Copies of this chain bind each other. A is one copy, B any other.
Amino acid sequence: MQNFEYYNRTKIIFGKGTEKQAGDETAKYAKRVLLHHSGGHAAKSGILDSVKDSLKKAGVSWVELDGVKPNPRLSKVYEGIEIVKKEKLEFILAVGGGSVIDSAKAIAIGALYDGDVWDFYDHKKTATLALPVATVLTIPAAGSESSVSSVITNEKGPWKQSVDEECIRPVFSILNPEFTYSLPPYQTACGVADMLAHIMERYFTKEPHVELTDELCEGAMRTIIRNARKVFSGGEKDYDARAEIMWAGSIAHNNLLSTGRIGDWASHVIEHELSAVYDIAHGAGLSIVFPAWIKYNLKGDVMRFARFAKKVWGVDGSFYDPEQAALEGIFRLKNFFRSIGLPVSFADAKLGTDRINEMAKRAVKFGPVGNFKKLDAGDVEAIYRIAAE
């Protein structure tokens, strides 16, 4: 087990009707805020109105900025920074999923910086100051509601890059599982893939003696899988199934599950190129990339992948042929993704293979990716090719 620090100061407010607390919680920090959202699901479902009511009651005024898209764009971030500076806003309340929250975090660091906010994403500057950010989560997926991460797409490239700093961790996040009843099934499925991927990135480690977090990761993955099956078998409005998924999605990415471990994170980088180039949903990119990543790395630690197959997918472990068990685990993972409507290959998502070379090169532009095995451009290309089979 590695030495570690664990600190997560986000206050989670979870359950039915909790969006009514948004105003009072916000008022503890500021009276003039940027209200950031996509203009889609949150606005149409009435969630946004409910949040506005709560702000009004608490005497908090706001300036609204909508239009955030999946794979949130740098241009929208610039727009937000300008508004915050001009209106002297002191706080950013994101109502939405990971894209809106990531965009809010980018605005929060950009608003206190005189240069170009992209400097932080381009690793030229380290973010240490940010306006406080809080969230009302409507799409369980990215775990951004209690994480230090923000991923932004610079349309110029397109480049999809991230900042991971303590200063952008939300001060509070409100999670009402009822908000997820009305999500389109594809978005629910992408969220499920994203949270499973967050756990797998942590779970597939070569660090030995990480039993407690192995157990916690496996329990969280089983819970997500079981409850996703419920939701996709007519349980769209099953509160408890939605609640299990929503809370698991937060825990998947709040860093508890990485304590003492060395996470991998290559699959995320490899996926970011896919969604930067093809603008497909991050979760759908992950359901294509991750099974291929496992297959490529299988012999790097057959027993860990066999354990994954046994503990998460219930594969009968064969002491004589753990590799076969591990392969069966990949089969079941792909099968699960397909069963909830996700692509598991380039063909499924109707992606061409002509840009594989270009994406592989760009994935390693800051150097080799991943920790389980350090992957160079050739490795990444091979993984894309497996996914394209």
Report which A residues bind B (CB closer than 8 A): 1-18, 208-209, 211-212, 215-216, 218-220, 222-223, 226-227, 239-240, 243-244, 247-248, 251, 256, 259-260
Contacts of A9 in B (CB 8 A): 7, 9
A216 near B220 with CB under 8 A, answer yes
Q: A4 touches which one: B10, B14, B222, B259 (CB < 8 A)?
A: B14
Contact A5-B13, Cβ < 8 Å, known A222-B215, A260-B247? yes
A161 CA / B260 CA spacing, docked (Å): 35
Contacts of A16 in B (CB 8 A): 3
A8 near B5 with CB under 8 A, answer no
Contact A15-B4, Cβ < 8 Å, known A219-B218, A219-B219? yes
B7 near A11 with CB under 8 A, answer yes
A6 near B14 with CB under 8 A, answer yes
A209 CA / B292 CA spacing, docked (Å): 34
Contact A219-B215, Cβ < 8 Å, known A5-B12, A243-B209? yes
A223 near B212 with CB under 8 A, answer yes
Contacts of A208 in B (CB 8 A): 240
Q: Which residue of B lies closest to A10 (CB)?
A: B7
Q: Which residue of B lies closest to A248 (CB)?
A: B212
A227 CA / B1 CA spacing, docked (Å): 14
Q: Give A1 Cβ to nearest chain B Cβ, in Å.
A: 5
Contacts of A248 in B (CB 8 A): 212
Number of copies: 2
A215 CA / B226 CA spacing, docked (Å): 12
B260 near A14 with CB under 8 A, answer yes
Contacts of A251 in B (CB 8 A): 212, 256
Q: Can you list 29 contacts pairing A with B, beta carbon distance less than 8 Å?
A: A1-B15, A1-B239, A2-B15, A3-B16, A4-B12, A4-B15, A5-B12, A5-B13, A6-B11, A7-B9, A7-B10, A7-B12, A14-B259, A14-B260, A208-B240, A209-B243, A211-B226, A211-B244, A212-B219, A212-B220, A212-B244, A212-B251, A215-B218, A215-B223, A216-B219, A216-B220, A218-B219, A243-B260, A251-B256
Contacts of A240 in B (CB 8 A): 1, 208-209, 211
Q: Which residue of B lies closest to A221 (CB)?
A: B215
A5 CA / B220 CA spacing, docked (Å): 19
Q: Give A145 Cβ to nearest chain B Cβ, in Å.
A: 12
Q: In the complex, which of the residues A4, A5, A13, A219 has the most CB atoms of chain B within 10 Å of its own CB atom? A: A219
A220 CA / B231 CA spacing, docked (Å): 27
B256 near A256 with CB under 8 A, answer yes
Q: Give A124 Cβ to nearest chain B Cβ, in Å.
A: 28
Contact A3-B7, Cβ < 8 Å, known A209-B243, A215-B222, A244-B211? no
A2 CA / B247 CA spacing, docked (Å): 12
Contacts of A3 in B (CB 8 A): 14-18
Contacts of A244 in B (CB 8 A): 1, 209, 211-212
Contacts of A7 in B (CB 8 A): 9-12
A1 near B212 with CB under 8 A, answer no
Contacts of A13 in B (CB 8 A): 5
